[in-house]
Amino acid sequence: MKSFAFKNINYLTYIFILFLLIILKISNPSFIKSVSFLSFDLYQKVFPLRNQNSEVIIVDIDEKSLAKFGQFPWNRSVFAKILSNINASNPKVIGFDIFFSEKDKQTPEEFIKAYDLKSQDLIDELKNIESHDEYFTKQLSNSKSVLAVLGSTEKLYKKYNRKPKARFLFKGGDPNQFIYKYPNSIGSIKTLENNAKGLGSISFLDQTDGIIRSLPLIVSFDKKFYPTMGLEMIRVGSKQKNLFVSLDEVGIQKISVRPNKISTDNNGLFWIRYKLPQQSQYISASSVFEGNFDRSRFENKYVLIGASAQGLFDLVKTPLGIIMPGVEVHANVIENILDKSYLLRNPDIYLLELILTIILATVIFTLSQKIKPKYSLPVFILAFFSIVISGFAFYNFRNELIDISYPIFILIITFLTGLYFRFIQENKLALENLKKETKLLRERELAGDVQKSLFPEISKYQNFICAKNIPARDVSGDYYDLIKVSKNEYYFSLADVSGKGVKAGMYMAKASSTFRALSKLSIPLEKVVFLVNNELVESKFKGMFVTAVFGKFNTETGVVTFVNAGHESIMLFDKSLNFEFLKSDLPPIGIIKYFTESMVVSKTINLKDKTFVVYTDGVTEGYLENGEELGAEGVEEIIKNLKDVNPLSIIKGIESKLNWGSDRLRDDITCLALNLENTDLLKIKK
């Protein structure tokens, strides 16, 4: 069990993190809600409504009106005249986003109390004057008006048995299980409410960030049901008495006021889709009071009376990132219901969000463990944009709110977790590979040192023969050899094994050891080559071969016999620097088996006054500092530019041209020069 957990610690950690994130989403605390709200607000900021022909007009208690009528609240006669002037224009309904919770301070009754009048005649005369409340009440009774009601959790000292005007008809369940409730309510005085045609809630739900995104269409105040202000105005404006509410076992489904059917969430919550504010929708209350307005503006319209003046503190934040008067929120609600532009937060979509998020997160995490980060990143980006595009598509075409913020948050956490474990895994593999590379490097260095020990020490012969090997890697695939078989007779070889690295070096070692062993038997050169070839053919180094020049020379006679088996052309030149090239007559050794010694073709020449030069393709194909290849012509130029032409100076000249300081050679550099003009041995100090 422990070994399973250790091997799968990355997947177990992912499952735990995903489970924790899903539990947080289901419990939905306020800080998780705020993450979801980011996407809901983004939709409206990117695609706000631009309704130019609104059916709602707002009579605005603005700075201009405050300057005209003075301190707010004004006496009721001002509102009565405003109401009278609006009524004359035949609106559908008039809603007050204002409370009239106390009697007018300028009514005769309040005036008598305020000044403590004692004269009975004066008191009787004042009582005969029509009060502002009475005047306002008459105007309310003669109009289709809706007054505001607000839910309260505080205990009220003055309370009357307020009753809603709308009649609710419920079908399919008990709404008390689902709707928002307040034990008390605040509204206007009894005489005003009794003469109004409707009472509408202006309660907003508390939001941690103060942004009004939604409101309940139905609320319960003191165990009585009230519609929100916008819904009540539509009911009164369409001359309906009833509101129909459809429920099922999970909550409220629809609320209807003929002919409008409104879908809500299970708690009757209505998500507002805001339009950009339009100044043309507002008209100053002072202008309406004075009758200075176009009467047709109110005809057959929904009229809201509310305040935008900053001193009255009725301003709210919206998802658009704009602060607007609270009365405009109710205007947006009315418009959303009438043109069906309101937003939906479907509980089934909520479940689908979780399922799809789990699937995408699992795919992303699994791929991050299986493929390289440069490939898993495009998968993450594809998933990211698929969520974003889906969210905006649902918003634009179905008016549905899809939470893209939290799924994206989960994907980011998942992807980073996957990258973290992939980093640990890659780091572990890198350390293991580093150990292997270090071990292989040590082995290659050891093999290189062993190989170098196989090359003969020929410095004492450099008066007449000189050779050099410069490996391109730790282990060379080239070799040369010189074996003294008698007083004046020597065997030599220079070869190039196909391929590079340790395997090529091992193949070279086998060829070299075979040649050395056979050369000491004092048998003809042709038989040596015959036996070396067949030995390599029988070896297990399949697919490898050797291009080589095998030869023997006599320092006394100056005669050289050699075999060129698929190797570079041998360079031969005299003291006048006349060059000729002796091409190969045989294929490389190690490819086909020789059946008779006669298959080995040799040549014999006399090196009197001539120099014999052999090199591998690493010389002719080696790069100069200017990036060009040296070539056979380059070797000629090197020799022609030497002050003293001898085997040692030729080899040093080639080495200096090719081994000029590049980080890595293109190929192994191996060359051998033979000139029998001076056959004295050098004395080497030990």
What does the pLDDT look like over 99-142, one tens digit per residue? 888 887 666 665 556 555 555 555 555 555 667 788 888 999 99
pLDDT of residue 685: 61
**Phi, psi (degrees; rounded to nearest 5) at 496:** -135, 115
Least Cα distance to 575 among 606, 609, 607, 605 occurs for 609
Helix ranges restricted to H, 259-372: 285-290, 326-339, 347-370
| Whether 399 contacts 273, CB under 8 Å | yes
| Whether 162 contacts 224, CB under 8 Å | yes
| Whether 70 contacts 311, CB under 8 Å | no
| Whether 129 contacts 108, CB under 8 Å | yes
pLDDT of residue 520: 86
Percent with pLDDT over 90 in the chain: 49
Cα dihedral 186/187/188/191 (nearest 10): -100
pLDDT of residue 336: 93
Separation of alpha carbons 33 and 207, rounded Å: 10
Cβ-Cβ contacts under 8 Å for 321 (sequence gap 6 or more): 41, 45
The string of DSSP letters for 129-182 reads SPPHHHHHHHHHHTS-EEEEEEEE-SPPSS------SSEEEEESS-GGGTSEEE
Lowest mean pLDDT among 438-452, 494-508, 668-682: 438-452
Q: When comparing pLDDT for 475 and 190, which is higher?
A: 190
Neighbour-count burial for 627-664, b at 16+ CB within 10 Å, e otherwise: eeebeeebbeebbeeeeebbbbbbbebbbebbeeeeee
Least Cα distance to 317 among 202, 207, 180 occurs for 207
pLDDT of residue 501: 67
Rg (CA), the chain: 51
pLDDT of residue 1: 60
The string of DSSP letters for 4-66 reads HHHHTHHHHHHHHHHHHHHHHHHH--HHHHHHHHHHHHHHHHHS-B--SS-SEEEEEE-HHHH
Q: When comparing pLDDT for 631 and 10, which is higher?
A: 631
| Whether 163 contacts 237, CB under 8 Å | no
pLDDT of residue 497: 87
pLDDT of residue 171: 92
Q: Is residue 200 scored above 90 in pLDDT?
A: yes
Tens of pLDDT, residue by residue over 59-96, are 999 999 998 888 788 888 899 999 999 999 999 999 99
Q: When comparing pLDDT for 501 and 163, which is higher?
A: 163
Cα dihedral 60/64/70/75 (nearest 10): -30
Element at 560 (helix H, strand E): strand 559-565
Q: Helix or strand or coil: residue 218?
A: strand
Q: Is residue 535 scored above 80 in pLDDT?
A: yes
Q: Is residue 542 scored above 90 in pLDDT?
A: no
Instruction: For residues 21-35, give the mean pLDDT.
Output: 86
DSSP annotation of 595: S
- Please give the angle made by the CA atoms of 194, 195 and 198, to the nearest 5 degrees: 80
Burial of 342 per CB tally in 10 Å (0-12, 13-18, 19+): buried
pLDDT of residue 269: 92
pLDDT of residue 255: 93
pLDDT of residue 34: 87
Tens of pLDDT, residue by residue over 243-302, are 999 998 889 999 999 889 999 988 999 999 999 988 889 999 999 999 988 888 899 999
| Whether 550 contacts 529, CB under 8 Å | yes
Percent with pLDDT over 70 in the chain: 92
Separation of alpha carbons 325 and 323, rounded Å: 7
Using CA of residue 59, residue 337, residue 26, residue 409, what is the dihedral sign?
negative
Residue with tokens 């003009």: 677
In the sheet that 603-606 helps form, which strands lie side by side, from edge to edge?
478-484, 489-497, 546-554, 559-565, 603-606
pTM, entire model: 0.66
| Whether 146 contacts 97, CB under 8 Å | no
pLDDT of residue 671: 94
Separation of alpha carbons 344 and 467, rounded Å: 89
Q: When comparing pLDDT for 20 and 111, which is higher?
A: 20
Max CA distance (Å), the chain: 164
Q: When comparing pLDDT for 472 and 648, which is higher?
A: 648
Lowest mean pLDDT among 4-13, 183-192, 257-266, 582-591: 4-13
Separation of alpha carbons 56 and 282, rounded Å: 9
Separation of alpha carbons 615 and 669, rounded Å: 8
Summary mean pLDDT of the chain:
87
Separation of alpha carbons 424 and 426, rounded Å: 6
Least Cα distance to 399 among 270, 557, 570 occurs for 270
Q: Is residue 632 scored above 70 in pLDDT?
A: yes
**Phi, psi (degrees; rounded to nearest 5) at 187:** -155, -150
Separation of alpha carbons 41 and 36, rounded Å: 9
Tens of pLDDT, residue by residue over 376-396, are 888 889 999 999 999 999 999
